[in-house]
Amino acid sequence: MSTFLQPQGEYDVRTRTLLKSLLAIAMAGPLACASAQTFPSRPLTIVVPFPAGGALDNVARSIAEQMRTDLGQAVIVDNRAGAGGTLGSSLVARASPDGYTMLLGSVATHAIAAGLYPKLPYDPIGDFAPITQLTSSPLVLTASPQLKAANVAGLVAAAKASPGSLNYASTGNGTALHLAGEVFRTAAGINVLHVPYKGGGQAATALLAGEVSYMLANPQLVMSFIQAGKLRALAVTGTKRLDVLPEVPTMTEAGIPGVEVTTWFGLWAPKGTPAAVVERLNASARKALATPEVKKQLAAQGDSPIGSSVEDFATFVRAEHKHWVAFVQAAGIKLE
């Protein structure tokens, strides 16, 4: 017989607390299952933290229609541009974690930004539930019609002959195109000016008009202009040539090694979104990427569809975050 005696009142309180905890745990499973089974029951929103007409916007709209068909609900693309993509990203970080609000972000919003902004309004890792990596693509070093250089060597020679006379466009301070421009500038040993724009559409327009000398651009932004002969592609930043631009060399082939920059886009939900809902969104996005329509559109733009699992995407984002934060800090890159 046990000699341990517990006061009856304390025993009753602890028993009731234990029973409440067990009841909550028992109810959580069925509720989560019910939520996943009825999801979605209303329209969903994909927040794009950059202006319409840019690379992220193009990808968002290409998958939104396919996800609508799969999910049976409208999928609305909402452009919330500002602060290098951090404004729209912070809005999603604070959104209700129910799966109805997603972020179509990028290497800029979830890897580079943490190294550039000392007071980033969200935690790229802790404030989001990764859904899937959507795409991956190199950048294209693209020259304006006014730049007479026929190749990378010609561009570098012109820049060195008149330091500070050339400039390059980006989609904004702190974006992947800005960082890629700095990587190229450093590797080539040239003195050029950075001109940030409020998105890809504005940057491409400025390049066409000759307001800037060149741009390291997402293929989606410049492919049609290159194919029409209005812009010149000088090199790509990948480890191999693009299938849609087979005659354009890699940076290494062009004599500038070390400029291997790959941009990527991904889909996130707010932290706390039920795992079953995240998996449903993952399955829908991957199904959209696998459709002939989306695959054809992405290939024409120089994009490769990825469609990773939730776990693989989470691991990938953590690695990219670590890499780019270290790069930004080591390079001493400052926002203008």
Q: What whole-number distance in Å separates Cα of residue 109 and Cα of residue 86?
A: 6
When pLDDT is averaged across residues 300-321 and rounded to a whole number, the result is 95
pLDDT one-digit tens code per residue, 159-200: 999 999 999 999 888 888 999 999 999 999 999 999 999 888
Q: Specify if 96 maps to a domain.
A: yes
Q: Specify if 126 maps to a domain.
A: yes
- Do residue 232 and residue 200 come from a single domain? yes
Domain range for 161: 140-236
Indicate if the pLDDT at residue 336 is higher than 60. no
The pLDDT confidence band at residue 1, using thresholds 50, 70 and 90, is very low
Amino acid at site 271: K
- Do residue 128 and residue 145 come from a single domain? no
Q: Specify if 287 maps to a domain.
A: yes
Percent pLDDT > 70 in the chain is 88
DSSP code per residue over 100-112: SEEEEEEHIIIII
- Do residue 151 and residue 229 come from a single domain? yes
- Do residue 268 and residue 132 come from a single domain? yes
Q: Specify if 221 maps to a domain.
A: yes
- Do residue 109 and residue 151 come from a single domain? no
Residue 316, number of CB atoms within 10 A of its CB: 18
Contact indicator for 325, 108 with CB cutoff of 8 Å: no
Q: Specify if 3 maps to a domain.
A: no
Which CATH number do you get for residue 146? 3.40.190.10
- Do residue 131 and residue 150 come from a single domain? no
Percent pLDDT > 90 in the chain is 74
The pLDDT confidence band at residue 334, using thresholds 50, 70 and 90, is low
Q: What is the pLDDT of residue 200?
A: 87
- Do residue 229 and residue 205 come from a single domain? yes
Which CATH number do you get for residue 300? 3.40.190.150
Q: Specify if 146 maps to a domain.
A: yes
- Do residue 153 and residue 198 come from a single domain? yes
Q: Which two tokens stand for residue 317?
A: 């984002």
Q: What is the pLDDT of residue 11?
A: 41
pLDDT one-digit tens code per residue, 272-286: 999 999 999 999 999
- Do residue 110 and residue 184 come from a single domain? no
Q: What is the pLDDT of residue 309?
A: 98
Positions of E strands within the chain: 44-48, 75-79, 101-106, 128-138, 140-143, 167-170, 193-196, 214-217, 232-236, 262-270, 304-305
pLDDT one-digit tens code per residue, 219-252: 988 999 999 999 999 999 999 999 889 999 999 9
Number of domains in the chain: 2
- Do residue 171 and residue 196 come from a single domain? yes
Indicate if the pLDDT at residue 12 is higher than 90. no
Q: Specify if 16 maps to a domain.
A: no
Q: Specify if 257 maps to a domain.
A: no
The pLDDT confidence band at residue 24, using thresholds 50, 70 and 90, is very low
- Do residue 49 and residue 121 come from a single domain? yes
Q: What is the pLDDT of residue 82?
A: 87
- Do residue 131 and residue 155 come from a single domain? no
